[in-house]
Structure 1
Amino acid sequence: MKHIPLNMLRKNLSDIPQFSLPDGYSIRFYEKGDERHWAKIETSVDEFKDEAAALAYFEKEFGLFTDEMTKRCLFVENEDGEEIATTTAWHGDLRGDGEISGRIHWVGVTPAYQGKKLAKPLMTAAMNTLAEYHSKAYLTTQTTSFQAINMYLNYGFEPYLMEPTCEEGWRLMEQKLERKILKRY
């Protein structure tokens, strides 16, 4: 599938779908030192070539904000206490106009645990966390993450077209997901 970057926006943070983890799993917030777990998870889903690159990125992106990460970065643990999924209820400026919104950032579920009904509860926890700090949220993704895009649509995120290629990407998503996504007004 063609790789096209996409953006999605949720105009409010009310009526967040609520999903609970299956038995044997738990969600917790980041603790200092968890960057190793973050790097391992994100590398396992091919976001980085290796854990060293992931750790370098983490340090650059979040290193000065580890105190804030203790309130915004989430991990799913299995029954053995192993970190197997993560996302961050972060913040940013989608349009570059200075308006800060909540941001779903770096969603990753270790491949061995994909399909075990962990992503929706993790997303619920992240969205609930965002709602504590923000009135709306956005995320960035790509056409190759079509399964995640389907979940994001079900969580009330809508396409936010910023680049000329976005419409092509959303048409691909309509075909792949077999659902109407783009609305014409």
Structure 2
Amino acid sequence: MKRIPVKMVRKDLLDIPEYSLPTGFRIRLFEKGDEQNWAKVEASVNEFKNEKDALDHFLKEFGPYINEMSMRCVFIENKNGEVIGTTTAWYGDLNNDGEIWGRIHWVGVAPAYQGSKLSKPLLSAAMNILTNYHSKAYLTSQTTSYKAINMYLNYGFEPLITGPSCYEAWTLLENSLNRKILK
């Protein structure tokens, strides 16, 4: 499938779907020193070519905000205490107009654990954190992450159409998901 960036918005943070973690897993917040855990997960899902690049990115993007990360970054651990998933309930200026939105940012579950029913509890945890700080949220993704996009749609996120290329992306996604998305 062609990889095209997409943006999605959720205009309110009411009625967040709730999902329980399977037995043997737990969700916890970021602690100082977890930078490498974040980098390991994000490199494992091919967001970066290696852990060093992921760690460099983490330090650039989040390094100045480590204290905020301890309130906004979520990890899933397996029964051995290994971090195997992460996402961040971050924020950003979606429209470059000075209005700050909540942002679901850097969602990743290690490949060995994908399909283990971890993504929904992870997303629910991050969305619940967002409700403490924001009234609406957005995220960015790409057409190749169609399974994640399907989950985001089920969580109430909608396509943000900002130009003609968006229609190509969402048409591809409708075909991949066999689901009507655009209204």
CA distance in 2, matches of 1:17, 1:168: 29
In the other structure, the counterpart of 2:121 is 121
Q: Which moved more, 1:132-141 or 1:155-164?
A: 155-164
The residue that corresponds to 2:146 in the other structure is: 146
- Alignment gaps of 5+ in structure 2: none
Runs of 4+ in 1 over 4 A off after TM superposition: none
Query: Which deviations, in whole Å up to 9, do the C-alpha atoms of 1:108-135 show, x marking residues without a partner?
Result: 0000000000000000000000011100
User: Aligned partners of 2:161 and 2:7: how far apart in 1?
Assistant: 7
**How big is the shift at 1:71?**
0.2
2:132 is paired with a residue whose SS is: helix
Task: Give the percent of matched residue pairs that are identical in Structure 1 and Structure 2.
Answer: 66
Compute the displacement of 1:103 (Å): 0.1
The letter for the 2-side match of 1:39 is A
What is the root-mean-square deviation of aligned Cα atoms in Å? 0.5
Cα distance per residue 1:67-118 (max 9 Å; x no partner): 0000000000000000000000000011111100000000000000000000
- Deviation of the 1:171 alpha carbon: 0.4
Q: Which residue of the partner structure matches residue 61 of structure 2? A: 61
Distance of 1:30 and 1:80 partners within structure 2: 17
Distance in 1 between residues matched to 2:177 and 2:48, nearest whole Å:
26
AA at the equivalent of 1:62: F
Q: 1:73 and 2:78 equivalent?
A: no
Alpha-carbon shift at residue 136 of structure 1 (Å) = 0.2
Q: How does 1:1-185 map to 2 (within 5 A)?
A: 1-183=1-183
- Deviation of 1:164 after TM superposition, in Å, equals 2.2
Shift of 1:161: 1.1
After superposition, give the CA deviation of every residue in 1:131-150 in whole Å (9 maximum; x if it has no partner). Answer: 11100000000000000000
Unaligned runs of 5+ in 1: none
Count of residue correspondences = 183
**Cα displacement (A) at 1:163:** 3.2
